[in-house]
Each structure stands twice: as C-alpha cells, then as structure tokens.
Amino acid sequence: MIASLSRLFCALLATGLAATATAGLGAPPKFTNLIPNDMARCAPGAGPAVRVDVSGMKSGDGLLIVRAYNARENEWLKAKKYFAKIHEPARKGRMSVCVPVPKAGGNYAIAVQHDVNGDYSTSFSVDGAGMSNNPVVKSFLGIPRPPALEKVAFPVGSGVTTISIAMRYRD
C-alpha cells in the first residue's frame, strides 16, 4: 500500500499537480484561476457545479488545494490548465468545497492535495492527494503514470453533482 501511495504522489508531481514554490518566505505565489469556496453555489437548485466531499484529512494543518479540469487529454493534470483552483484552510476528517463548472453537460476531473505545511508545494513525506473517482495509480518500469482520463472524468448536468474523494497519504 505504501508503494502505491508513493506512486500516487510521484504521478501527481510528474504531471504538474505540485504548486509553484513560494516567491518569498511565507508569501504565496501568484495563482491562476483561484476562486473562493462558495458553498452557496452548491445549494439546492444551484448549478452547474460540483460538490467535492473530501474524506480522510489526517490533520487540520495547512491547506486543502482543489484543482478542477475540463476532461480533455491536453488539460488533465497539466500545469496551469485547470479552470478553477480553490485553497481552503485544512480541517481534520472531512471537508467539502464547491466548484462551479463552465457549462452543464460537460465532463470534468478533479485533483485534490492536502498541503500539510501550507507552503504551496508538495512534500512527499507528509502531503496527501486524491482524484475524482479515486483511481489506482500504476507505474511502468518504476515510473509513475497518471491515471487515464477516463478513470477520473465524470459528467456534470445543470444542477449540482456530488463526488467523494478519499485523501491518500504516503505513511
């Protein structure tokens, strides 16, 4: 199990999920498409949006970082190709965020990261990660491979679609 979690973290880093390092001590980098977590956009009758329920947050330290992608091969896990990014203070256990999507009827994919030390970078030894549909991350000759798009993609209608993502940690 530890080996598969290690591969998950390597796959996320290798495909551009890791955030850019901070420009200065404690200063967050400039982000593309950063939006607030507005749960009212996932209220009954709202949409189109995705309510992302994340389970297994092992601490309340740092940030939950959520990236939402159009389900397209040339965008999935590519650096800065996400259409929305949300940063929320971490809470141990379960957390929910609301991601409005560009249009109803589209297919989307979500990647989440628990940035435990809140430095906007990936620390393999402590950070957690997960993806929509909770796919298994495989490797080829020891090289991590991100899950195929069809493993993480899901449709969103005109209302609110709820998905669950289990956070995974190396240890």
Write the DSSP string, 96-127.
Answer: EEEEE-SSTTEEEEEEEEEETT-SSS--TTT-
Write the DSSP string, 35-51.
Answer: ----GGGGSTT--SEEE
Mean pLDDT computed over every residue of the chain = 84
6-21: average pLDDT: 43
Question: CA-to-CA distance for 113 and 18, rounded, in angstroms?
Answer: 9
Count H helices and E strands in the chain, helices first: 2, 11
Residues 70-105: pLDDT tens digits? 999 999 999 899 999 999 999 999 999 999 999 999
Cut 0.85: pTM above it: no
Nearest to 98 by CA among 50, 167, 26, 138: 50
